[in-house]
Structure 1
Amino acid sequence: MSELNVELSETERSFGLRQIPAGHARMLVIGRCLPQPIGEVWNALTDPARIGAYFAEPQGDFRRGGDYELPGFSRGTILRCDPPRLLTVSWMPAHGNGGELEIHLADENGATRVELLYASVRKRFAVMDPEVNEWAAGPGWEFFLDNLSAHLDGREVRPTDRDWQSMEGTDRELYEARNTEWVRVREEFEREHSPLPSPE
Protein backbone atom coordinates (compact mmCIF):
# COMPACT_ATOMS: atom_id res chain seq x y z
CA MET A 1 0.00 0.00 0.00
CA SER A 2 1.36 3.44 -0.93
CA GLU A 3 2.13 6.04 1.72
CA LEU A 4 -0.76 8.14 0.39
CA ASN A 5 -3.20 5.25 0.75
CA VAL A 6 -1.93 4.58 4.27
CA GLU A 7 -2.65 8.20 5.23
CA LEU A 8 -6.10 8.03 3.65
CA SER A 9 -6.94 4.80 5.52
CA GLU A 10 -6.09 6.28 8.94
CA THR A 11 -9.32 8.30 8.90
CA GLU A 12 -12.96 7.22 8.99
CA ARG A 13 -15.30 9.54 7.08
CA SER A 14 -19.08 9.82 7.12
CA PHE A 15 -21.95 12.30 6.81
CA GLY A 16 -25.04 13.00 8.86
CA LEU A 17 -27.68 15.61 9.58
CA ARG A 18 -27.88 17.76 12.69
CA GLN A 19 -30.08 20.49 14.06
CA ILE A 20 -27.95 23.39 15.30
CA PRO A 21 -28.95 26.90 16.45
CA ALA A 22 -28.29 28.22 12.93
CA GLY A 23 -30.78 25.73 11.43
CA HIS A 24 -30.88 22.36 9.65
CA ALA A 25 -27.27 21.39 8.99
CA ARG A 26 -25.25 18.84 7.13
CA MET A 27 -22.64 17.22 9.35
CA LEU A 28 -19.37 15.53 8.54
CA VAL A 29 -17.86 13.02 10.97
CA ILE A 30 -14.13 12.29 11.10
CA GLY A 31 -12.79 9.43 13.20
CA ARG A 32 -9.15 8.77 14.00
CA CYS A 33 -7.13 6.96 16.69
CA LEU A 34 -4.14 8.59 18.40
CA PRO A 35 -1.59 6.67 20.51
CA GLN A 36 -1.55 9.18 23.38
CA PRO A 37 -3.73 8.79 26.52
CA ILE A 38 -7.03 10.63 26.64
CA GLY A 39 -5.88 13.21 29.20
CA GLU A 40 -2.95 14.27 27.03
CA VAL A 41 -5.16 14.63 23.95
CA TRP A 42 -7.76 16.58 25.92
CA ASN A 43 -5.11 18.96 27.22
CA ALA A 44 -3.80 19.59 23.69
CA LEU A 45 -7.35 20.36 22.51
CA THR A 46 -8.26 22.73 25.35
CA ASP A 47 -5.09 24.50 26.55
CA PRO A 48 -4.96 27.81 24.61
CA ALA A 49 -1.15 27.89 24.39
CA ARG A 50 -1.00 24.33 23.08
CA ILE A 51 -3.73 25.01 20.51
CA GLY A 52 -1.66 27.97 19.36
CA ALA A 53 1.33 25.69 18.79
CA TYR A 54 -0.41 23.71 16.06
CA PHE A 55 -3.41 25.81 14.95
CA ALA A 56 -4.17 29.31 16.30
CA GLU A 57 -4.22 30.49 19.91
CA PRO A 58 -7.80 31.21 21.02
CA GLN A 59 -8.80 34.25 23.04
CA GLY A 60 -11.82 34.72 25.25
CA ASP A 61 -13.70 33.39 28.25
CA PHE A 62 -12.85 29.69 28.48
CA ARG A 63 -15.82 28.26 30.34
CA ARG A 64 -19.19 26.87 29.38
CA GLY A 65 -21.24 29.74 27.95
CA GLY A 66 -18.13 31.85 27.37
CA ASP A 67 -17.30 33.43 24.04
CA TYR A 68 -14.05 32.76 22.21
CA GLU A 69 -12.25 33.88 19.08
CA LEU A 70 -9.72 32.01 16.95
CA PRO A 71 -8.03 34.90 15.13
CA GLY A 72 -8.20 34.40 11.40
CA PHE A 73 -10.57 31.42 11.64
CA SER A 74 -13.70 31.71 13.73
CA ARG A 75 -15.53 33.01 16.75
CA GLY A 76 -18.29 31.48 18.82
CA THR A 77 -19.50 30.22 22.18
CA ILE A 78 -18.43 27.24 24.28
CA LEU A 79 -21.65 25.21 24.39
CA ARG A 80 -20.59 22.04 26.26
CA CYS A 81 -17.46 20.98 28.06
CA ASP A 82 -17.19 17.59 29.78
CA PRO A 83 -13.50 16.85 30.50
CA PRO A 84 -11.89 14.77 29.14
CA ARG A 85 -14.51 13.46 26.71
CA LEU A 86 -16.62 16.15 25.06
CA LEU A 87 -16.20 19.70 23.78
CA THR A 88 -18.82 21.52 21.70
CA VAL A 89 -18.52 25.07 20.38
CA SER A 90 -20.50 27.17 17.95
CA TRP A 91 -18.40 28.06 14.92
CA MET A 92 -18.87 31.31 13.01
CA PRO A 93 -16.21 31.68 10.28
CA ALA A 94 -15.49 34.86 8.38
CA HIS A 95 -17.98 34.04 5.59
CA GLY A 96 -20.78 34.18 8.18
CA ASN A 97 -22.51 30.78 7.75
CA GLY A 98 -23.02 29.39 11.24
CA GLY A 99 -21.73 26.00 12.23
CA GLU A 100 -21.03 23.78 15.21
CA LEU A 101 -17.87 21.85 16.09
CA GLU A 102 -18.01 18.91 18.48
CA ILE A 103 -15.11 16.69 19.52
CA HIS A 104 -15.59 13.36 21.32
CA LEU A 105 -12.70 11.51 22.97
CA ALA A 106 -12.78 7.89 24.12
CA ASP A 107 -10.12 5.81 25.83
CA GLU A 108 -9.10 2.71 23.87
CA ASN A 109 -6.65 0.65 25.94
CA GLY A 110 -4.51 3.69 26.77
CA ALA A 111 -4.81 5.26 23.33
CA THR A 112 -7.50 7.77 22.31
CA ARG A 113 -10.20 7.64 19.68
CA VAL A 114 -11.02 11.12 18.40
CA GLU A 115 -14.32 11.79 16.67
CA LEU A 116 -14.69 15.26 15.20
CA LEU A 117 -18.15 16.35 14.10
CA TYR A 118 -18.58 19.54 12.13
CA ALA A 119 -22.05 20.73 11.12
CA SER A 120 -22.85 23.73 8.94
CA VAL A 121 -25.88 25.30 7.32
CA ARG A 122 -23.65 26.25 4.41
CA LYS A 123 -24.70 24.22 1.38
CA ARG A 124 -21.28 23.30 -0.03
CA PHE A 125 -18.93 23.34 2.92
CA ALA A 126 -17.50 19.82 2.91
CA VAL A 127 -15.63 19.58 -0.40
CA MET A 128 -13.50 22.08 -2.23
CA ASP A 129 -14.77 24.55 -4.79
CA PRO A 130 -12.11 25.03 -7.51
CA GLU A 131 -13.06 28.71 -7.74
CA VAL A 132 -12.77 29.43 -4.01
CA ASN A 133 -9.58 29.54 -1.93
CA GLU A 134 -11.27 28.64 1.35
CA TRP A 135 -10.42 25.32 2.94
CA ALA A 136 -13.10 22.69 2.44
CA ALA A 137 -14.28 21.32 5.78
CA GLY A 138 -13.65 17.64 5.00
CA PRO A 139 -9.96 17.73 4.08
CA GLY A 140 -9.47 20.88 6.14
CA TRP A 141 -10.48 19.30 9.46
CA GLU A 142 -8.35 16.29 8.58
CA PHE A 143 -5.32 18.57 8.33
CA PHE A 144 -6.29 19.99 11.74
CA LEU A 145 -6.12 16.44 13.15
CA ASP A 146 -2.78 15.94 11.35
CA ASN A 147 -1.39 18.97 13.18
CA LEU A 148 -2.84 17.83 16.51
CA SER A 149 -1.16 14.45 16.00
CA ALA A 150 2.15 16.03 14.99
CA HIS A 151 2.06 18.30 18.05
CA LEU A 152 1.41 15.34 20.35
CA ASP A 153 4.25 13.39 18.71
CA GLY A 154 6.68 16.32 18.86
CA ARG A 155 6.85 16.54 15.06
CA GLU A 156 6.77 19.66 12.88
CA VAL A 157 3.27 20.95 12.16
CA ARG A 158 2.02 22.26 8.83
CA PRO A 159 1.46 26.01 8.43
CA THR A 160 -2.16 27.08 8.93
CA ASP A 161 -1.91 30.56 7.39
CA ARG A 162 -2.41 29.48 3.79
CA ASP A 163 -5.22 28.52 1.46
CA TRP A 164 -5.41 25.14 -0.26
CA GLN A 165 -4.53 26.56 -3.66
CA SER A 166 -1.07 27.55 -2.37
CA MET A 167 -0.28 23.97 -1.33
CA GLU A 168 2.35 22.07 -3.27
CA GLY A 169 3.86 18.61 -3.52
CA THR A 170 2.70 15.85 -1.20
CA ASP A 171 0.51 18.22 0.86
CA ARG A 172 -1.46 19.20 -2.26
CA GLU A 173 -1.70 15.57 -3.36
CA LEU A 174 -2.99 14.53 0.06
CA TYR A 175 -5.52 17.38 0.20
CA GLU A 176 -6.92 16.52 -3.22
CA ALA A 177 -7.04 12.77 -2.43
CA ARG A 178 -8.92 13.47 0.79
CA ASN A 179 -11.29 15.77 -1.06
CA THR A 180 -11.99 12.96 -3.54
CA GLU A 181 -12.85 10.67 -0.62
CA TRP A 182 -15.24 13.28 0.81
CA VAL A 183 -16.92 13.70 -2.59
CA ARG A 184 -17.49 9.93 -2.70
CA VAL A 185 -18.83 9.79 0.87
CA ARG A 186 -21.11 12.77 0.27
CA GLU A 187 -22.52 11.23 -2.91
CA GLU A 188 -23.24 7.97 -1.08
CA PHE A 189 -24.97 9.86 1.71
CA GLU A 190 -27.06 11.96 -0.66
CA ARG A 191 -28.24 8.86 -2.53
CA GLU A 192 -29.54 7.47 0.76
CA HIS A 193 -30.94 10.72 2.17
CA SER A 194 -32.11 12.75 -0.82
CA PRO A 195 -33.25 15.44 -0.78
CA LEU A 196 -31.18 17.10 1.91
CA PRO A 197 -32.44 20.29 3.55
CA SER A 198 -30.97 23.47 2.15
CA PRO A 199 -30.55 26.87 3.79
CA GLU A 200 -33.00 29.46 2.57
Structure 2
Amino acid sequence: MTPIRTGDVRLIDGEPNLIITRTFGSPAEAVWQTLTESERLREWIGYWEGDPTTGHVSFFMTSEAEDPEPERYTILECDRPRRFAGDTSQGSGAWHLWFELDEIAGVTTLTFGQRLNPGEDVGSIGPGWEYYLDRAEAAHEGRDVAAIAWDDYYPALRDEYAALAP
Protein backbone atom coordinates (compact mmCIF):
# COMPACT_ATOMS: atom_id res chain seq x y z
CA MET A 1 0.00 0.00 0.00
CA THR A 2 1.19 3.48 -0.81
CA PRO A 3 -0.60 5.97 1.43
CA ILE A 4 -1.12 9.52 0.28
CA ARG A 5 -1.36 12.68 2.33
CA THR A 6 -5.01 13.60 2.70
CA GLY A 7 -4.55 16.15 5.46
CA ASP A 8 -3.91 19.85 5.58
CA VAL A 9 -3.34 22.50 8.24
CA ARG A 10 -6.02 25.16 8.55
CA LEU A 11 -6.69 27.96 11.00
CA ILE A 12 -9.82 27.50 13.10
CA ASP A 13 -10.60 30.30 15.54
CA GLY A 14 -7.07 31.57 14.94
CA GLU A 15 -5.45 28.24 15.91
CA PRO A 16 -3.72 25.83 13.50
CA ASN A 17 -5.50 22.48 13.16
CA LEU A 18 -4.42 19.39 11.32
CA ILE A 19 -7.49 18.31 9.32
CA ILE A 20 -7.88 14.88 7.69
CA THR A 21 -10.97 13.57 5.93
CA ARG A 22 -12.32 10.14 5.10
CA THR A 23 -15.51 9.01 3.35
CA PHE A 24 -17.54 6.03 4.52
CA GLY A 25 -20.34 4.36 2.57
CA SER A 26 -22.38 4.14 5.76
CA PRO A 27 -24.76 6.31 7.79
CA ALA A 28 -23.24 8.68 10.32
CA GLU A 29 -24.53 6.61 13.26
CA ALA A 30 -22.53 3.56 12.13
CA VAL A 31 -19.36 5.64 11.71
CA TRP A 32 -19.98 7.26 15.10
CA GLN A 33 -19.99 3.83 16.71
CA THR A 34 -16.65 2.93 15.08
CA LEU A 35 -15.12 6.15 16.44
CA THR A 36 -16.61 6.25 19.94
CA GLU A 37 -17.69 2.85 21.26
CA SER A 38 -14.99 1.24 23.37
CA GLU A 39 -15.30 -2.21 21.80
CA ARG A 40 -15.22 -0.76 18.29
CA LEU A 41 -12.19 1.42 19.11
CA ARG A 42 -10.43 -1.70 20.37
CA GLU A 43 -10.44 -2.99 16.78
CA TRP A 44 -8.20 -0.21 15.48
CA ILE A 45 -6.60 1.96 18.20
CA GLY A 46 -7.47 1.14 21.81
CA TYR A 47 -10.34 1.33 24.28
CA TRP A 48 -11.71 3.48 27.05
CA GLU A 49 -12.98 2.78 30.56
CA GLY A 50 -15.15 4.86 32.83
CA ASP A 51 -18.42 6.72 32.70
CA PRO A 52 -18.44 9.24 29.84
CA THR A 53 -21.38 11.08 31.43
CA THR A 54 -18.89 12.39 34.03
CA GLY A 55 -17.00 14.15 31.24
CA HIS A 56 -13.89 11.99 31.65
CA VAL A 57 -12.73 8.51 30.65
CA SER A 58 -9.43 6.66 30.75
CA PHE A 59 -8.12 5.79 27.30
CA PHE A 60 -5.74 2.89 26.68
CA MET A 61 -3.88 3.07 23.35
CA THR A 62 -3.35 -0.66 22.87
CA SER A 63 -2.31 -0.34 19.23
CA GLU A 64 1.11 0.92 20.36
CA ALA A 65 1.66 -1.19 23.50
CA GLU A 66 0.13 -4.35 24.93
CA ASP A 67 -0.18 -2.89 28.44
CA PRO A 68 -0.36 0.90 28.01
CA GLU A 69 -0.69 3.45 30.78
CA PRO A 70 -4.15 5.06 30.75
CA GLU A 71 -4.50 8.55 29.33
CA ARG A 72 -7.12 10.80 30.96
CA TYR A 73 -9.49 12.05 28.29
CA THR A 74 -11.82 14.99 28.92
CA ILE A 75 -14.97 15.05 26.83
CA LEU A 76 -15.75 18.64 25.85
CA GLU A 77 -18.49 18.13 23.29
CA CYS A 78 -20.61 15.15 22.32
CA ASP A 79 -23.38 15.70 19.77
CA ARG A 80 -24.21 12.17 18.59
CA PRO A 81 -23.80 11.39 15.70
CA ARG A 82 -22.47 14.70 14.40
CA ARG A 83 -19.63 16.15 16.48
CA PHE A 84 -17.23 15.09 19.20
CA ALA A 85 -14.38 17.00 20.85
CA GLY A 86 -12.07 16.27 23.74
CA ASP A 87 -8.69 16.79 25.29
CA THR A 88 -6.08 14.25 26.24
CA SER A 89 -4.22 14.63 29.55
CA GLN A 90 -3.39 18.04 30.88
CA GLY A 91 -0.10 19.88 30.44
CA SER A 92 2.08 20.87 27.54
CA GLY A 93 1.60 17.50 25.81
CA ALA A 94 -2.20 17.72 25.86
CA TRP A 95 -3.97 17.28 22.54
CA HIS A 96 -7.31 18.76 21.53
CA LEU A 97 -8.94 16.25 19.17
CA TRP A 98 -12.29 16.54 17.43
CA PHE A 99 -14.30 15.13 14.59
CA GLU A 100 -17.42 15.95 12.63
CA LEU A 101 -19.61 13.59 10.61
CA ASP A 102 -21.66 14.83 7.67
CA GLU A 103 -24.06 12.34 6.09
CA ILE A 104 -25.62 12.77 2.66
CA ALA A 105 -27.73 9.96 1.19
CA GLY A 106 -26.17 7.30 3.45
CA VAL A 107 -22.57 8.35 2.72
CA THR A 108 -20.70 9.93 5.62
CA THR A 109 -17.74 12.27 5.46
CA LEU A 110 -15.52 12.28 8.51
CA THR A 111 -13.57 15.46 9.19
CA PHE A 112 -11.01 14.73 11.87
CA GLY A 113 -8.95 17.44 13.51
CA GLN A 114 -6.20 18.02 16.00
CA ARG A 115 -5.39 21.51 17.22
CA LEU A 116 -1.64 21.90 16.92
CA ASN A 117 0.31 23.19 19.89
CA PRO A 118 3.34 25.41 19.20
CA GLY A 119 6.35 23.38 18.10
CA GLU A 120 4.51 20.09 17.60
CA ASP A 121 5.97 17.74 15.02
CA VAL A 122 3.40 17.72 12.23
CA GLY A 123 5.81 15.48 10.31
CA SER A 124 5.01 12.61 12.68
CA ILE A 125 1.50 13.58 13.81
CA GLY A 126 0.09 13.70 10.25
CA PRO A 127 1.32 10.26 9.18
CA GLY A 128 0.14 8.90 12.52
CA TRP A 129 -3.42 10.04 12.01
CA GLU A 130 -3.41 8.88 8.38
CA TYR A 131 -2.42 5.45 9.68
CA TYR A 132 -5.02 5.35 12.45
CA LEU A 133 -7.85 6.66 10.28
CA ASP A 134 -7.05 4.06 7.63
CA ARG A 135 -7.20 1.45 10.40
CA ALA A 136 -10.56 2.88 11.53
CA GLU A 137 -11.87 2.65 7.98
CA ALA A 138 -10.66 -0.96 7.67
CA ALA A 139 -12.26 -1.91 11.00
CA HIS A 140 -15.50 -0.21 9.99
CA GLU A 141 -15.57 -2.13 6.72
CA GLY A 142 -14.61 -5.46 8.32
CA ARG A 143 -11.21 -5.60 6.62
CA ASP A 144 -8.00 -6.84 8.24
CA VAL A 145 -6.64 -3.94 10.29
CA ALA A 146 -3.33 -5.76 10.75
CA ALA A 147 -2.73 -5.47 6.99
CA ILE A 148 -2.19 -1.73 7.47
CA ALA A 149 1.49 -1.24 8.26
CA TRP A 150 2.92 1.79 10.07
CA ASP A 151 6.09 1.53 8.00
CA ASP A 152 4.07 2.44 4.89
CA TYR A 153 3.15 5.81 6.47
CA TYR A 154 6.28 6.86 8.27
CA PRO A 155 8.70 8.10 7.11
CA ALA A 156 7.01 8.12 3.67
CA LEU A 157 4.63 11.00 4.56
CA ARG A 158 6.90 12.77 7.06
CA ASP A 159 8.28 15.46 4.75
CA GLU A 160 4.93 16.29 3.17
CA TYR A 161 3.39 16.81 6.58
CA ALA A 162 6.42 18.63 8.00
CA ALA A 163 6.04 21.17 5.17
CA LEU A 164 2.57 22.02 6.54
CA ALA A 165 3.90 23.13 9.93
CA PRO A 166 2.41 26.47 10.98
> How far, CA to CA, are the matches of 1:58 and 1:181 in structure 2?
32
Which whole-Å deviations, capped at 9, do the CAs of 1:88-111 have from their partners, x for residues lacking one? 011228x85122000111013311
> Residue 80 and residue 52 in structure 1: after superposition, are their counterparts in 2 closer, same or farther (change >3 A)?
same
TM-score, normalisation: structure 1: 0.68
1:158 is aligned to 2:146: yes
> Residue 56 and residue 159 in structure 1: after superposition, are their counterparts in 2 closer, same or farther (change >3 A)?
farther
In percent, how many aligned pairs have the same letter? 25
1:143 is aligned to 2:139: no
Corresponding position of 1:185: 164
> How far, CA to CA, are the matches of 1:175 and 1:36 in structure 2?
29
> How far, CA to CA, are the matches of 2:9 and 2:110 in structure 1?
16
Corresponding position of 2:47: 57
1:102 is aligned to 2:98: yes
1:67 is aligned to 2:67: no
Q: Mind listing any 5+ residue stretches in structure 1 that lack a counterpart?
A: 128-135, 161-169, 191-200
Which whole-Å deviations, capped at 9, do the CAs of 1:101-157 have from their partners, x for residues lacking one? 001110133111111110142512321xxxxxxxx2211111111111111111111
TM-score, normalisation: structure 2: 0.81
Q: Mind listing any 5+ residue stretches in structure 2 that lack a counterpart?
A: 61-67
Q: Which of the two has higher C-alpha Rg? A: 1
CA RMSD of the aligned region, Å?
A: 2.6
> How far, CA to CA, are the matches of 2:155 and 2:162 in structure 1?
10
> Residue 123 and residue 158 in structure 1: after superposition, are their counterparts in 2 closer, same or farther (change >3 A)?
farther
Q: Number of residues paired by the alignment? A: 158
